[in-house]
Structure 1
Amino acid sequence: MKISFHKVKITPNQPAYLCGYEGRNQLCSEVLDDLYASCLKIIEKNEVYVLYSLDLLSLDPELLEQMKRRIVKHGVNYDHILISTTCTHSAPETMVNGIFDDPNHGASPDYREFLVNQMEAAWLGCGEGVEVEVSYAVQKIDGCYGNRNGMELPCDKDVSCIRFDYLKKPIYMIVNIGCYPTVLGSENVKISADLFGAIRDSMRELYQVEVFMMNGAQGNVSNRLYRKSRDEQELQRMNEGICSQLSDLHFKLIEKSGICVKDISYKVDNQKSLIELAKKRDRIIQLMNNADEKEKASLKFGLNYLEMNQRQMKAPYEIISTRLLSIGNLYLVMVGAAMFTQFSIQIKAAFPEHKVLIWGLTDANAGYIVAEDEYGDNFESMLTKFPKGEGEKYAEYIINQLKEFIRDKEKQ
């Protein structure tokens, strides 16, 4: 297996609207730290696979397609191009109408074109690659983040690290964390990769490797109940709290080499979902009648987002992009959505003899995959497109598909 890596800046060169928080409507140009597109190129038996991690909130299907088609021109199989975002809320809008469907505060066409060009530049910078050994380490993180709907609720706090060594020397590392990277709040108007950018810089310094950041099942996981503030100083405090626990990782060699990808995308009936959204809309309006001003603003946000989902759900089915990626005997479940942490725990528990992790926010983001036991009047339940119980069906589907994938691979 050959590996190469390259990253390029995707910090905008002109003022931009930042994405992620409603009401932050000013153009922003000040930069706290640069944004990057990281590209990991893997070559196995003359097949090329390309993994991307972008310091952005999300990508819409049209922009995602443009990015993939640009890389296909270089002879890469379309199905081998794997793109994800970190979900920073301090990066520019990438959608023409913005994440809140407001054409007055969306992305400029120039920035979208710039992103496509930079994706290509990252690919071109990778080079031929070197033969590597692959190793794996896991570390549980305490005291820095957790289930944001309650500290007592379940949370997968394992950070998984995949290291690539050339001639016994570490050169690249994937860091997988199932947590929103949002320390900086809505009052922040500086461009930033936020927590994942800080972790990337710290891990690069700690281990003297280039670092590829990968989110996990972060749908209901953040530092909300652990942070003391939402400013730059708190960003550094949270970064130090996490990276101090990652400073002495013990890696084990992944014995089998080889890489394989399988598409197992999942369909949800939009007619059923729209019926549930109509009921949810009535519930939000009911709650607004008895809410104080602060609660009413939050509910209004949820109502606006719900109505945007209703307008956009025109196809018979909603597709949750889902793929299985194996690197040796390590298995990554690529989820094109913000999956709740309970499902990560469930999926990993189904494979005690294998190394399994969730790679979330891949391809176009289908929204929240909410666990049934947390479905209710909370933020994620208001914003999800999917009816109660659909997340459990999806998790079982992934488990069954992954079992089949592992069986087929072990027969080879």
Structure 2
Amino acid sequence: MISPEFAQAARDEISRRCVIPAENITVCCIHTHSGPAFFKLAFEDTPAEGELTAALLTSTIESACRAWETRRPATPTMERVEIEGLYGNRNIKFGPEDKSCTVITFTADDGTAVGKLLNISTHPTILNGKSLVLSADLIGQLRLRLEDAWGCPVVCTNGTCGDVSTRFYRQGEGQPELMRTADELTRQVLNGLAPVALTSGEGTRASGVIRMPTVFDARTDEDWKRMTEAIEADPTAPTYPFYSARQQLKLAMSPINLTLVAHFAIFGNVIVITMPGDTLSSFGLKLKQAFPGFEVIVIGYANTYCNYLVPEEEYGKYFETFNSRTPRGACDRFVERIIGTIKSFL
């Protein structure tokens, strides 16, 4: 997860050194449950390790600047594959889910691949709290395999994976299961990618930022009251300790003021949208379906972390709402605002 302060510091310094507008820079991550604490999360007691955060900021800035300084002309091509049998909606099997994996290849004039950008939507959480291994988990293993196969850097982004994981598809646990899943995912990507038509365009057609402030107050929120009553009615439930503590924490934090932030850019017939946290699949599908004739790439965990973005029809039903800092319907309005803003440029 990325704090807004970290993302802004990285963007500002990269902007200064590379003379790129800060609003054109996105800092995002892929998420793992098997890494150290680089940032303090809103609901967690684990403190951030300051030395690690500082080192990460330095390496992030240096990496981006080095890429900018060694840039060269390249032509993009897009491919996509639907991933089967490895992950999906973790609340309801075959529920809303985006199993598409998109790869954009940037090819130099001499025919060599300068690099590739990959977008996939799944929680990389095969290694859980039982593991003491430091790992980028499934997406990290996928990246290593693809870089070896393709012979160029592969930048991986995670999409709308808030309710997507390998939960219903695991055949084991720990590192053996991680390696099995990564091997099969790599095989499907390498063998299944199919071309996607891109329209040419000079530069960016349009870009912008959407910001929407929200307020959640457990003291007056009817959903919080209903959910808490249901939890307290059964203290013997296995989920009781976590859910009860989380509800009380949200009460203690209230009112919770949060600003949801999304960036977008339109290149030819490609629309790139960033989302500020764990976005549920229904929202990702809605964003993609809102723009017929366009290829939409949604990048999550970008520029800040606003916890789970839960659609109104799923609010209060599953784990994700307990980790949300927004009231029912707020994220729906945010997504509608994103769609409306982008459509005004088309």
TM-score strictly above 0.5? yes
**What code does the residue aligned with 1:185 have?**
N
User: CA RMSD for the aligned pairs?
Assistant: 2.3
CA distance in 2, matches of 1:191, 1:136: 32
Q: Give the aligned partner of residue 390 of structure 1.
A: 330
**Which of 54, 62, 68 lines up with 2:11 in the alignment?**
68
Which letter does structure 1 place at the counterpart of 2:54? E
The answer to whether residue 212 in structure 2 is matched with residue 267 in structure 1 is yes
State the shift of 1:131 in Å.
Answer: 0.8
The aligned amino acid for 1:187 is K
Change (3 A) 1:64 1:292: same
Q: Give CA-to-partner distance per residue, 1:352-378, whole Å, 9 cap, x none.
A: 211112111101111111122222242
Q: Which residue of 1 aligns with 2:87?
A: 145
Q: Does 1:360 align with 2:297?
A: no
CA distance in 1, matches of 2:269, 2:77: 11
Q: Does 1:107 align with 2:35?
A: no
* Distance change >3 Å, CA 307–CA 187, structure 1 → 2: farther
Task: Report if aligned partners of 1:320, 1:366 keep a CA contact under 8 Å in 2.
Answer: yes
Q: Cα–Cα, structure 1 residues 281 and 403, in superposed 2: closer, same or farther, change >3 Å? A: same
1:171 aligns with 2:111: no
Report deviation, 1:241: 2.3
User: Structure 2: which 5+ residue stretches go unaligned?
Assistant: none
More moved, 247-256 vs 341-350: 247-256
**Which is richer in strand?**
1
Aligned pairs, number = 341
1:404 paired to 2:344: yes
Alignment-derived partner of residue 236 in structure 1 = 179
> Equivalents in 2 of 1:285, 1:384: separation in Å?
18
Question: Structure 2 CA distance, aligned partners of 1:192 and 1:347?
Answer: 31
* SS class of match (2:11): helix
SS at match of 1:209: coil
Structure-2 residue corresponding to 1:372: 312
Residue matched to 2:267? 327
Deviates more, 1:185-194 or 1:373-382: 373-382
SS at match of 1:292: coil
Tell me what 1:23 maps to: none
- Give the residue type in structure 2 aligned to 1:223: T
Gaps of 5+ in 1: 1-57, 408-412
Q: Residue 309 and residue 327 in structure 1: after superposition, are their counterparts in 2 closer, same or farther (change >3 A)?
A: farther
> For residues 65 and 169 of structure 1, what CA distance do their matches in structure 2 show?
33
How far 1:237 moved relative to its partner? 1.3
Q: TM-score, normalised by structure 1?
A: 0.76
Counterparts of 1:190-205 in structure 2, within 5 Å, are 190-205=133-148
- How far the C-alpha of 1:298 sits from its partner, in A, is 2.9
Change (3 A) 1:123 1:277: same
SS of equivalent residue, structure 1 residue 358: strand
Counterpart Cα distance in 2 of 1:189 and 1:324:
37
Aligned to 2:63: 122
**1:187 is the counterpart of 2:127:** no
1:255 alignment counterpart: 199
Q: 3-state SS of the aligned residue for 1:64?
A: helix
Deviation at 1:277, TM superposition (A): 4.8
Paired AA for residue 55 in structure 2: F
Structure 2 counterpart of 1:265, which letter?
I
Change (3 A) 1:351 1:307: same
Distance in 2 of aligned mates of 1:304 and 1:130: 53
**1:81 alignment partner in structure 2:** 25
Letter in 1 for 2:214: D
Match among 135, 154, 157 for residue 77 of structure 2: 135
| Distance across 1 between alignment mates of 2:28 and 2:230 | 37
Q: Which residue of 1 aligns with 2:239?
A: 295
Instruction: Report whether the alignment pairs 1:207 with 2:168.
Output: no
Retained in 2: the 8 A contact 1:99–1:106? no
* Cα pair 2:101 2:119 within 8 Å, conserved: yes
Distance 1:305 1:132 in 2: 50
CA contact (8 A) 1:86 1:196 kept: yes
Q: Would the aligned equivalents of 2:43 and 2:246 in 1 still touch at CA under 8 Å?
A: no
1:125 Cα deviation after fit: 2.3
What is the aligned partner in structure 2 of residue 39 from structure 1? Answer: none
Shift of 1:281: 5.4
Structure 1 distance, partners of 2:98, 2:337, is 20
> Residues 255-311 of structure 1: CA distance to partner in whole angstroms, max 9, x if unpaired?
3142366333231431x5555657515632541341325222331453355346536
Deviations 1:297-327, CA, capped at 9 Å, x for gaps: 331453355346536x2x4xx2111011233
